[in-house]
């Protein structure tokens, strides 16, 4: 059988990670409970008196195995069963006071273990780890066309955001379009001027967040008394297809109207096809083109405008 390098890499990671977090130990977190037992206790703590069927479905556990596990918990005084008020044939399962104390002990030990695991990491390494974990969860999680759209939060900038904007523009446009570091320098100049010269009444930055991490940005800055510039619109690859760019654009244009601008102008590249389609949908029109080589060869800049 031909060796599949992807399968081998995933299995290698699984062996590494399960050993790293102590899953292979006889008792999870130096306790008397296995990983499965601890996970059931976790579900019982975070659910409002579920049935055994609900727990079995959530954790994909065999019903007979779960029944034996719950019986052991009952014998230890960790859980109690009460008849359902809606269906007397079913019993609800909930933790006793002793069960909640057991959860708190396991939860505290788990937090201490993860803190120790993270302690050798530098501050700049932690976001890389979180991004990698998020990517694994997104790619291997259940996919459904009926899933609810993600909850995207838009907020104003705060310390550290300008560095993220510069870094992500530099990395993504290099990876996706081959632009060199002069583009990163251009972005750094824009963000620097924004911080040093910003008029809060007429200029603003929005950062889009998904599950607590930044996934997009856009800026509105003053060009003239009546004309604003839309700048540095970016959406992370992991967040594309969920309307993040449109949400950033709508916030930007609404603010421009409220600030009294009559026109919004933007500068983009001809090869940014997805962004250009979004500008067209928002009502922008192409008013000029110009070839250049500011951060790569054979580039064609475009100027688009929208009358408010």
The DSSP 8-state label assigned to residue 205 in this structure reads: E
Which pTM does this prediction carry?
Answer: 0.57
pLDDT for 260 = 96
pLDDT for 145 = 47
Confidence of residue 90 (pLDDT cuts 50, 70, 90): confident
Q: Where are the domains of the chain?
A: 5-120, 152-307
What would the DSSP string read from start to end of 41-69? HHHHHHSSS-BHHHHHHHHT--HHHHHHH
Angle (CA) 71-74-79 rounded to 5° is 125
Confidence of residue 27 (pLDDT cuts 50, 70, 90): low
Confidence of residue 122 (pLDDT cuts 50, 70, 90): confident
What Å distances lie between residue 269 and 67, 210, 288, CA to CA?
61, 27, 11
> Does 32 have pLDDT greater than 90?
no
Confidence of residue 299 (pLDDT cuts 50, 70, 90): very high
Lowest-confidence pick of 36-45, 171-180, 226-235 = 36-45
- CATH annotation of 152-307: 3.40.630.30
- CATH annotation of 5-120: 1.10.10.10
Work out the mean pLDDT of the chain and round it to a whole number: 87
pLDDT in tens, 146-186: 455 568 899 999 999 999 999 999 999 998 899 999 999 99
What would the DSSP string read from start to end of 228-268? EEEEEEEE-GGGTTTTHHHHHHHHHHHHHHHTT-SEEEEEE
17 or 204, which is more confident? Answer: 204
d(CA 229, CA 249): 12
């Amino acid at each position: 059988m031909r060796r599949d390098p992807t399968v081998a890499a995933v299995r290698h990671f699984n062996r590494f990670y399960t050993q790293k977090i102590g899953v292979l130990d006889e008792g999870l977190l130096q306790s008397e409970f296995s990983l499965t037992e601890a996970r059931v206790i976790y579900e019982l703590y975070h659910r409002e008196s579920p049935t055994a069927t609900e727990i079995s479905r959530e954790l994909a556990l065999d019903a007979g195995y779960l029944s034996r596990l719950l019986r052991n918990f009952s014998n230890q005084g960790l859980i109690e069963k009460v008849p359902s008020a809606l269906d007397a044939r079913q019993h609800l399962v909930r933790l006793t006071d002793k069960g909640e104390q057991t959860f708190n002990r396991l939860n505290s030990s788990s937090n201490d273990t993860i803190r120790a695991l993270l302690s050798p990491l530098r501050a700049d390494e932690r976001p890389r780890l979180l991004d990698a974990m998020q990517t694994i969860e997104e790619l291997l999680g259940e996919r459904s066309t009926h899933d609810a759209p993600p909850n995207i939060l838009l907020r104003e900038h705060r310390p550290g955001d300008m560095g993220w904007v510069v870094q992500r523009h530099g990395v993504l446009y290099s990876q996706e379009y081959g632009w060199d570091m002069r583009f990163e320098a251009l972005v750094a100049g824009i963000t620097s001027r924004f911080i040093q010269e910003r008029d809060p009444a007429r200029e603003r930055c929005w950062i889009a967040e998904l599950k607590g991490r930044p996934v997009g940005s856009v800026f509105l800055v003053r060009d003239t008394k009546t004309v604003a510039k839309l700048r540095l619109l970016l959406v992370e690859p992991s967040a594309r297809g969920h309307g993040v760019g449109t949400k950033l654009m709508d916030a930007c244009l609404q603010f421009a109207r409220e600030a009294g601008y009559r026109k919004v102008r933007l500068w983009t590249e001809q090869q940014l096809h997805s962004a250009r389609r979004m500008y067209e949908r928002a009502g922008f029109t192409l008013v000029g083109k110009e070839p250049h080589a500011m951060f790569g060869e054979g580039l064609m800049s475009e100027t688009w405008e929208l009358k408010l």
